[in-house]
């Protein structure tokens, strides 16, 4: 039997990745003070006319130009205030607010979610979001989808993908570091919802494993971890959750906060929704497919 075990949640981060396609300030320049939360149309940075992309960082003194019909929103990391520019316009990113050079002035907007952007920074001031990277031979034949990281539901649903020729998977659930099996059952298909008799506790790491027998090949098994947050953390997250009709940038920031807080399954679902809503933004497709 071939068994590839994924490391616990801290090991899922193969490396923290910057989500901007490129850093918009050289190392010699000041650290970023704002991050792009929405962009439509042609927006570029001087000098060099470098395109500004979603989740790019903006440092003080950045000179942005919007062509006619373009839109740019960015939120200041310390204050949580978001500013929106509409083209044609040109502005310089100040330390706490943009200064208009030509065209309409930036329109400020504040929200409860945007106020949390300070938590998206690392100690060196850069905006970082984590990405789960799972590796191993045969991964394309058996892949665990959810839950991963922290989950908000006390009765999480489990989902995985497996070869079409396999009809039944063996599912197992246990606490990390314990030999006590909470659940072991064959599952037809690739989904399972825990029965009411299986009680999960906040703050405990749970290991779940899916095993399959592939006709004409070796057996495969994959494992992953998840945990439930405490009541206080769950309430804080739910209080920040924007509604489905909330501004795009609020939902993007919330997805980023979820990922930063290691609510990986929750954040992936929101990235997928945003990617469907904005097919023009390849950055969202990359996040949705992680």
- What are the tens digits of pLDDT across the range 201-242? 998 999 999 999 887 767 888 899 999 999 999 999 999 999
Which region among 91-100, 136-145, 159-168 has the lowest average model confidence (pLDDT)?
A: 136-145
CA terminus-to-terminus distance, the chain: 27
Q: What does the alpha-carbon distance between residue 221 and residue 254 come to, in Å, rounded to a whole number?
A: 33
Token pair in block for residue 290? 């992680």
Across the range 246-260, mean pLDDT stands at 91
- What are the tens digits of pLDDT across the range 158-187? 999 988 888 899 999 999 888 889 999 999
* The pLDDT value given to residue 98: 95
- What are the tens digits of pLDDT across the range 28-64? 345 888 999 999 999 999 877 889 989 888 999 999 9
Task: Match 């919007």 to its residue by tokens.
Answer: 66
8 or 249: which carries more pLDDT confidence? 249
Tally helices (H) and strands (E) across the chain: 5, 19
Across the range 20-30, mean pLDDT stands at 40
* The pLDDT value given to residue 119: 66
pLDDT at 14 over 70: no
Closest listed residue to residue 33, CA positions, set 3, 56, 4, 11? 56
pLDDT at 3 over 70: no
Q: What angle do CA 283, 84, 98 make, to 5 degrees?
A: 105
CATH 2.60.40.10-classified regions of the chain: 4-14+132-227
pLDDT at 108 over 90: yes
The neighbour count for residue 246, using CB atoms within 10 Å, is 14
Cβ atoms of 56 and 37 within 8 Å: the answer is no
pLDDT at 27 over 80: no
Q: Which residues fall within 8 angstroms of residue 26, CB to CB, at 6 or more apart?
A: none
* The pLDDT value given to residue 55: 87
Where are the strands (E) in the chain, listed by range? Answer: 4-5, 34-40, 43-46, 50-51, 57-58, 63-66, 71-76, 81-86, 89-93, 98-103, 107-110, 143-146, 149-150, 157-161, 168-175, 181-188, 191-193, 206-213, 219-227
CATH number listed for the domain at residues 4-14+132-227: 2.60.40.10
Q: Model's pTM, two decimal places?
A: 0.73
Across the range 282-289, mean pLDDT stands at 84
Across the range 233-259, mean pLDDT stands at 91
* The pLDDT value given to residue 117: 74
- What are the tens digits of pLDDT across the range 76-88? 988 889 999 999 9
Q: How far is CA 102 from CA 18, 53, 158, 183, in A?
A: 31, 21, 53, 64
Query: pLDDT band at residue 283, thresholds of 50, 70 and 90?
Result: confident
* The pLDDT value given to residue 115: 80
Cβ atoms of 127 and 57 within 8 Å: the answer is yes
Q: What does the alpha-carbon distance between residue 85 and residue 62 come to, in Å, rounded to a whole number?
A: 14
* The pLDDT value given to residue 16: 26
């Amino acid at each position: 039997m071939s068994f590839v075990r994924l490391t616990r949640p801290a090991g899922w981060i193969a490396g923290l990745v910057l989500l901007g396609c490129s850093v918009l300030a050289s190392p010699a320049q000041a650290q970023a003070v704002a991050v792009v939360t929405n962009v439509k149309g042609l927006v570029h940075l001087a000098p060099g006319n470098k395109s500004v992309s979603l989740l790019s960082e903006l440092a003080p003194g950045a000179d942005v130009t919007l062509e006619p019909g373009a839109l740019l929103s960015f939120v200041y990391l310390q204050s949580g205030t978001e500013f929106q520019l509409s083209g044609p316009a040109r502005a310089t990113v100040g330390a706490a607010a943009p200064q208009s050079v030509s065209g309409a002035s930036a329109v400020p907007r504040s929200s409860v979610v945007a106020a949390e952007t300070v938590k998206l920074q690392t100690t060196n001031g850069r905006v970082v979001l984590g990405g789960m990277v799972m590796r191993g031979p045969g991964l394309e034949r058996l892949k665990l989808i959810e839950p991963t990281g922290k989950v908000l539901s006390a009765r999480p649903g489990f989902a995985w993908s497996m070869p079409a020729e396999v009809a039944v998977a063996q599912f197992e659930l246990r606490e990390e570091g314990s030999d006590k099996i909470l659940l072991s059952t064959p599952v037809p298909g690739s989904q399972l919802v825990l029965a009411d008799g299986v009680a999960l506790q906040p703050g405990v790491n749970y290991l779940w494993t899916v095993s399959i027998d592939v006709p004409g090949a070796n057996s495969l098994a994959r494992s992953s971890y998840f945990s439930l947050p405490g009541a206080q953390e769950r309430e804080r997250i739910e209080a920040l959750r924007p509604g489905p009709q909330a501004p795009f940038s609020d939902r993007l920031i919330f997805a980023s906060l979820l990922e930063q807080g290691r609510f990986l399954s929750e954040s992936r679902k929101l990235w997928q929704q945003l990617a469907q809503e904005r097919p023009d933004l390849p950055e969202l497709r990359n996040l949705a497919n992680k």
